[in-house]
Amino acid sequence: MNPLPARSGRLVILGVAESDSHAVANHLIAMHLREHGFTVVNLGVCTPLADFADAHQRHPGAEAVLIGSLNGHAHQDLRALPELRAAGRLRCPVIVGGNLSVGSRKSEADRRRLLDLGVDHLLPDADALLPLLDTLHAAKVAELQHG
């Protein structure tokens, strides 16, 4: 077994979008992150976006806000993101994963609408989460070291 990368002390805020009550993936992702050394503030299901912002204010060192959405209504649930960003209430990266739009066919327009709201990263696959978090962490460390 390979040793786990050093991730202790790193914190993320996790939850499921406001209109979505799918809990299983949320708990599996929380367990996976904890197994890899993260501290997870899990807000659970049906979480209004303002609650993510409140959690970020309580945990300003959070590396990212992770929002799951399986019902396809992510755009509707995240429509207040530009206002929260403008108010400085969500300054860390916002990562959204799951089923990002209603229907079986996904388009670039679906992705673009979420990115236009201010979502930083869209994940089609949970396996991409740890590498993305490590990339974001490395970039933040480099920025702090080089000003």
Q: pLDDT tens digits for 33-53? A: 999 999 999 999 999 999 999
> How many angstroms separate the CA atoms of 86 and 115, rounded?
15
Predicted local distance difference test score (pLDDT) of residue 6: 67
Question: Are the CB atoms for 94 and 119 separated by under 8 Å?
Answer: yes
Give me the percent of the chain exceeding a pLDDT of 90: 76
Question: How buried is residue 130: exposed, middle or buried, by Cβ count under 10 Å (0-12/13-18/19+)?
Answer: middle
5: confidence class by pLDDT, cuts 50, 70, 90: low
Q: What is the pTM of this model?
A: 0.91
